[in-house]
Amino acid sequence: MTMPDSSAEEIRASALRYIRMYEEGGITLGDLRAELAGMAELYEHVLGAEKDNYRHLLRTAADARELEDVEAALTLFRRAEAGRRSA
């Protein structure tokens, strides 16, 4: 059973807050990775089989061996979300 949409929205909002903190220099990429990785399992539970840009970013953060992988996923996430919003 999946959780209400509000749970997914809370996780997305939290992820965006941490991304903003990273972009503003408030946390390191390693800190961002840790925060996003901590959200991955719960977000996957919330979404069930559904896939989206957030899920990919969070899962990459959780599975990444190198910070460069997180940075690349973050770049893809930004582009995908920008494209989604402009469509």
pLDDT digits (tens, 9 = 90+) for 36-74: 999 999 999 988 878 899 999 999 999 999 999 999 999
pLDDT at 1: 43
Residue in the structure block whose two tokens are 């957030």: 54
Residue 14 resides in a domain: yes
The DSSP letter of residue 51 is: -
More confident residue, 53 or 1: 53
pLDDT at 49: 78
Residue 55 resides in a domain: yes
Residue 64 resides in a domain: yes
57: containing domain: 5-81
- Phi and psi at 7, nearest 5°, equal -65, -45
Q: Does the pLDDT value for residue 30 go beyond 50?
A: yes
pLDDT at 47: 86
| Residues 6 or more apart in contact with residue 28 via CB below 8 angstroms | 22
pLDDT at 58: 97
Number of domains in the chain: 1
